[in-house]
Structure 1
Amino acid sequence: MPESKLQMVFLNAGNKTTRMSIDDPKEELTTKEVTEVMNNIISTGIFNSSGGDIVSIDSAKIITTQVEELEV
């Protein structure tokens, strides 16, 4: 069964990327919704990284993987 993950990539104060991932995002998720959430994360300042505060959006993507369990 395919598994999906929303990966949101931000730039921090040190101009380095930092990522946040959410497992099993809803299928009908829109670019507008993701952008709004990412802007909310930035504006509230509730997260930071080893390179400092999160300051801007870099990118976002949904990653889908096919996992096949092997019986060993």
Structure 2
Amino acid sequence: MEKSLQLVFKNAAGSTKIITISNPKDNLSKSETDAAMQKIVAANIFSTVGGDLVQAVEARVVNR
């Protein structure tokens, strides 16, 4: 089974965008993922068709 971490954001146009990270470390806490997502938004390093990422929505672990 493959595990991935999906970080869900909203962009400037209001669309949902997902960044997927393969094989995240076990036992990530909500505070750790929230802090990482806030750093991504603050750093403004990703741009999408709908504009920059402006809001962290949620983080979720997916097993496939």
- Specify the TM-score bucket, using the shorter chain as the normaliser: over 0.9
**Runs of at least 5 residues in structure 2 that lack an aligned partner in the other structure:** none
Number of matched residues? 64
4+ residue segments displaced more than 4 Å: none
Deviation at 1:58, TM superposition (A): 1.5
Once the two structures are superposed, residues 41-72 of structure 1 have per-residue CA deviations (whole angstroms, 9 ceiling, x without a partner) of 0001011111001000122100011xxxxxxx
TM-score (norm: length of structure 1)? 0.85
1:31 and 1:3 map into 2 onto residues whose CA distance is 21
Who is 1:13 aligned against?
12
CA distance in 2, matches of 1:62, 1:5: 6
User: Residues 39-50 of structure 1 correspond to what in structure 2 (within 5 A)?
Assistant: 39-50=38-49
Residue matched to 1:59: 58
- The one-letter amino acid paired with 1:24 is N
Amino acid at match of 2:57: D
Note the residue ranges of structure 1 that are not aligned, 5 or more in a row.
66-72
CA–CA separation in structure 2 for the residues paired with 1:33 and 1:48: 23
- How far, CA to CA, are the matches of 1:60 and 1:28 in structure 2? 13
Larger Rg: 1
